[in-house]
Chains A and B, each alone.
Chain A
């Protein structure tokens, strides 16, 4: 099965700073997504990371706050900018290798903002 690696696995950050989360997949994939999961809640889709073009953001999420890069078909980054305690959450990257709705997830990056 595919390996999806996220870095960092967890971090504690100060208010007002930014953190970049990396997602590396061990094979090429077209469809890659970034989710946020707040404590005790379901997953919320932040955006679809498009290779070679700007990410497609869901309602309530904007590029200035969550810039995403997708330089190739195996790698993406999500930056959480100007963080506040409300950004404390688990951030997950996910891929769909065959475009058929079968998603594979990384282990997540647990972010705590003080």
Chain B
């Protein structure tokens, strides 16, 4: 299993860009990297997924270096509503079985 390591918490202010880095040193060749957002009393919600280089959607960007041993979730111009816990997971090789294991996540607090 590819273990992930993230900062436990981060603080930011409205309008700033937030970058959350996740380490996954033993990621397997076929593993995807997926990020989730969780608000209190809700299930996690998919944000973005990537395999290598950079992926961007309407919510965030995901940067993955060539060695894929880490990844960085970038949230542009955060607002108060981005206060949540963010998790990165690795796995989900297409066509294979995997065990989606959550790490401790990063608690992001956005201040006014």
Contact = CB atoms under 8 A, between A and B. Distances in A.
Contact of B41 (A43, A101, A103, A108): A108
Interface stretch (A61-69, A75-83, A92-100): A92-100
B43 A99 contact: no
| Most A Cβ at <10 Å: residue of B49, B87, B92 | B92
Contacts of A73: none
A35 B101 CA distance: 10
Interface in B31-84: 31-32, 34, 36, 41-46, 49
Contacts of A106: 43
Given A42-B87, A45-B101, A99 B46 contact: no
> Which 9 pairs show the lowest CB-CB distances between chains A and B?
A101-B92, A105-B43, A43-B102, A101-B32, A101-B34, A100-B92, A42-B102, A92-B43, A42-B104
Interface of A: 31, 33, 35, 42-45, 48, 58, 90, 92, 94, 96, 98-108, 110
Interface of B: 31-32, 34, 36, 41-46, 49, 87, 89-92, 94-105
